[in-house]
Amino acid sequence: MLKGFRQFIIRGNAIDLAVGVIIGAAFGAVVNALVKDLLTPLISAIFKTPDFSNLFFTIRGSKILYGDFLNAVISLVLIGFSVYFFVVLPMNTLTAHLKSKQPPEDPTTKKCPECLSEIPKDAKRCAFCTTILSV
């Protein structure tokens, strides 16, 4: 029983998952700090209200706390904005930059001149229309 557990833990997937969860938790703390300490005060400076949780209205004695919902929506938008502009966009730029430096791969397929189907590069006959191809 312990041997199977050891094989499961040593397998790369479990370790990769554990590392991903730990990095994700640390990254979540950084994003939350960015939103709470930098972006939310900027918004509160614009609207002159640091917290919208006190906003509500009453209908037939029931308190509708739309301020809490507004805080959650603003937090979601700010977190999405932060993740996109500070993580996704730089990573996409870096990936595109690294891909542009790699030489293009040789094509492994070609188009049949008769039916325009994709066929292997070294094929002598099209598998779709059976046209004999010149190599």
Phi, psi of 132 (to 5 degrees): -80, 130
Q: What is the pLDDT of residue 31?
A: 78
For 130, the domain range is 106-135
* Domain shared by 18 and 63, yes or no: yes
CA proximity to 41, closest of 29, 49, 31, 52: 49
Per-residue pLDDT of the chain (135 residues; tens, 9 = 90+): 777 777 766 776 777 777 788 888 888 888 778 777 887 788 778 877 767 778 889 999 999 988 888 878 888 888 888 888 888 899 889 888 888 877 777 788 899 988 989 989 888 898 889 888 876
Q: What is the pLDDT of residue 135?
A: 62
* Domain shared by 112 and 92, yes or no: no
Q: What is the pLDDT of residue 58?
A: 92
Q: What is the pLDDT of residue 9?
A: 67
Q: What is the pLDDT of residue 3?
A: 79
* Domain shared by 14 and 45, yes or no: yes
Measured distance CA(43)–CA(121) in Å, rounded = 58
Q: What is the pLDDT of residue 62?
A: 92
* Domain shared by 100 and 54, yes or no: yes
